[in-house]
């Protein structure tokens, strides 16, 4: 088997287009936020909203919903191209337009619901504790993300995917034994129907605490051998054993705290400059978005670097527990071919954008392990 050279050409092309789309997205977003603030459009919308309702919760909600709706409309062509046209052109999407729109609507409604909770908490804090809102917001988001991680497999993923217990007793036993040997409690092995959306393969541990489970995409189950599936799940188990979920939440919390702290400074400076009436002024909401967005962009390479470090540790765990580097290498080669993943992205692309090491590096790690295990 090995790496499919023709697929790699396509993978490179696909990645290049995606990077251009990301750049366009960032430039347009930044411009839109700056223009809305600088032209007084945001202040005008705030006045219009307040003439409808002076109730602070309702006014916040109306401003937020209108803002998100305008943003979604502005980005509709880009969303359609990058979410539907492009994955179809490269044979990655299996969704009909109707099904794609339905997923988009469901995802939008969910984002609006969760976003509304967060924005209401932020503005309540901005009104009531303007000196410490950033600190309490970060604490709230920590709690919120833990609760969501726990509820995701039972409440959120089923909105988009069909799950059923995997009816392959041999494989289930094998994966449960793998988890038991690592003293990781798992609430069953499930398959998730991905094939009606994508050709790409995937597997994961989902949930937190009592909802933790092993999930195999049907696109993985159908195309990978039990040895290859075991190696991938051993990698996922590595994350569990290394407490990477807790580490990830901790790193995210530090970044969130810093982000909101800086947003507080930016907003205080911007309010005087842009003539808003205080930090809780709804008209300053795009400034909050801009500050958080810029901070997120600047710290993205840092977060990605940390993630890649954890991924390497999980790969090592997979090799050491399964002791089957051949299956490890084959699994990654299959993933590269099937998911149209670039095996050797340019160094700056990997450094800036990738939260996983390149497949080229992961295969090389498998080969290095093979040498240490069986010296010729
Ligand atoms: Zn991983």
The pLDDT tens digits for 232-277 are: 999 999 999 999 989 999 999 999 999 999 999 999 999 889 999 9
Cα–ligand 1 centroid distance for 112 (angstroms): 29
The Cα 343–Cα 215 span in angstroms is 25
Name the packing angle between helices 97-128 and 133-151 (round to 10°): 150
Query: Residue 2 — very low, low, confident or very high, per pLDDT cuts 50/70/90?
Result: confident
Cα–ligand 1 centroid distance for 111 (angstroms): 25
Cα–ligand 1 centroid distance for 55 (angstroms): 46
In the prediction, which pLDDT does 217 show? 96
Instruction: Give the number of C-alpha atoms closer than 13 A to the C-alpha of residue 197, restricted to the C-beta side.
Output: 18
Q: Rounded to the nearest 5°, which phi and psi values hold at 262?
A: -70, -40
In the prediction, which pLDDT does 375 show? 55
Cα–ligand 1 centroid distance for 239 (angstroms): 7
**Is residue 376 over pLDDT 60?**
no
**Contact in structure between 205 and 231 (CB atoms under 8 Å):** no
Q: Are strands 203-206 and 163-165 parallel, antiparallel or unpaired?
A: unpaired
Name the packing angle between helices 97-128 and 56-74 (round to 10°): 140
| CB contact set of 35 (below 8 Å; sequence gap of 6+) | 41
Cα–ligand 1 centroid distance for 292 (angstroms): 26
Cα–ligand 1 centroid distance for 276 (angstroms): 45
Cα–ligand 1 centroid distance for 352 (angstroms): 18
Rounded to an integer, the average pLDDT of 113-134 is 98
Q: Tokens for 65, please give them.
A: 């919903």
Cα–ligand 1 centroid distance for 320 (angstroms): 15
Cα–ligand 1 centroid distance for 296 (angstroms): 21
Query: Residue 1 — very low, low, confident or very high, per pLDDT cuts 50/70/90?
Result: low
In the prediction, which pLDDT does 320 show? 96
The Cα 352–Cα 360 span in angstroms is 17
Token pair 């038991």 is at which residue?
180
The CA–CA distances, whole Å, from 129 to 27, 137, 140, 169 equal 34, 11, 14, 56
Cα–ligand 1 centroid distance for 363 (angstroms): 14
**Is residue 338 over pLDDT 80?**
yes
The Cα 319–Cα 339 span in angstroms is 22
Cα–ligand 1 centroid distance for 314 (angstroms): 6
**Contact in structure between 308 and 355 (CB atoms under 8 Å):** yes
Cα–ligand 1 centroid distance for 331 (angstroms): 13
Cα–ligand 1 centroid distance for 43 (angstroms): 45
The Cα 64–Cα 336 span in angstroms is 40
**Is residue 342 over pLDDT 90?**
yes
Cα–ligand 1 centroid distance for 135 (angstroms): 30
In the prediction, which pLDDT does 106 show? 97
The Cα 175–Cα 173 span in angstroms is 6
In the prediction, which pLDDT does 4 show? 92
Handedness of CA 69, 73, 74, 75 (dihedral sign): positive
The Cα 64–Cα 35 span in angstroms is 17
Cα–ligand 1 centroid distance for 231 (angstroms): 12
Exposure string for 88-111, b = 16+ CB within 10 A, e = fewer: eebebbbbeeeebeebbeeeeeee
Instruction: Give me the chain's average pLDDT, please.
Output: 95
**Is residue 374 over pLDDT 80?**
no
In the prediction, which pLDDT does 175 show? 95
Q: What pTM did the predictor assign?
A: 0.92
Cα–ligand 1 centroid distance for 197 (angstroms): 22
Q: Which of 226, 175, 180 is nearest to 204 (CA)?
A: 175
Task: Detail the DSSP E strand segments found in 167-220.
Answer: 189-192, 203-206, 213-217
Cα–ligand 1 centroid distance for 190 (angstroms): 18
Cα–ligand 1 centroid distance for 123 (angstroms): 36
Token pair 């995606």 is at which residue?
18
**Contact in structure between 252 and 145 (CB atoms under 8 Å):** yes
The Cα 349–Cα 137 span in angstroms is 32
**Is residue 372 over pLDDT 90?**
no
| CB contact set of 339 (below 8 Å; sequence gap of 6+) | 92, 200, 201
pLDDT tens per residue, range 32-66:
999 999 999 999 999 999 999 999 999 999 999 99
């Amino acid at each position: 088997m090995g790496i499919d050279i023709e697929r790699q050409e396509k993978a490179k092309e696909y990645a290049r287009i995606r990077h251009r789309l990301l750049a366009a997205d960032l430039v347009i977003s930044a411009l839109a936020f700056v223009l809305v603030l600088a032209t007084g459009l945001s202040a005008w919308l705030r006045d219009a909203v307040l003439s409808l309702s002076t109730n602070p919760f309702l006014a916040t909600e109306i401003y937020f919903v209108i803002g998100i709706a305008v943003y979604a409309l502005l980005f509709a062509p880009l969303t359609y191209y990058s979410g539907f046209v492009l994955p179809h052109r490269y044979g990655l999407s299996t969704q009909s337009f109707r099904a794609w729109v339905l997923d988009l609507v469901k995802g939008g409604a969910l984002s609006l619901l969760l976003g509304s909770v967060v924005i209401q908490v932020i503005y309540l804090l901005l009104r009531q504790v303007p000196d410490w809102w950033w600190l309490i917001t970060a604490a709230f988001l920590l709690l919120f993300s833990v609760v969501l991680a726990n509820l995701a497999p039972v409440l959120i993923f089923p909105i988009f995917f069909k799950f059923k217990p995997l009816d392959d007793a041999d494989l289930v036993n094998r994966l449960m034994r793998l988890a038991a040997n690592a003293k990781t409690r798992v609430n069953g092995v499930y398959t998730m129907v991905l094939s009606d959306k994508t050709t790409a393969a995937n597997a994961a541990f989902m949930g937190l605490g009592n909802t933790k489970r092993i999930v195999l995409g049907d696109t993985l189950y159908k195309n990978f051998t039990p040895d290859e599936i075991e190696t991938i799940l051993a990698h996922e188990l590595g994350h569990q054993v290394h407490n990477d979920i807790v580490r990830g939440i901790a790193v995210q919390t530090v970044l969130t705290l810093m982000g909101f702290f800086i947003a507080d400074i930016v907003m205080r400076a911007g309010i005087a400059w842009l003539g808003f009436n205080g930090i809780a002024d709804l008209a300053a909401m795009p400034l909050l978005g801009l500050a958080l967005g810029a901070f997120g962009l600047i710290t993205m390479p840092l977060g990605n670097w940390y993630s890649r470090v954890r991924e390497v540790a999980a790969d090592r765990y997979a090799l050491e527990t399964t002791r089957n580097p051949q299956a490890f290498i084959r699994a990654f080669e299959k993933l590269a071919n099937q998911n149209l993943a670039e095996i050797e992205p340019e160094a700056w692309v990997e450094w800036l954008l990738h939260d996983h090491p390149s497949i080229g590096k992961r295969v090389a790690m498998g080969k290095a392990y093979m040498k240490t295990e069986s010296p010729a």
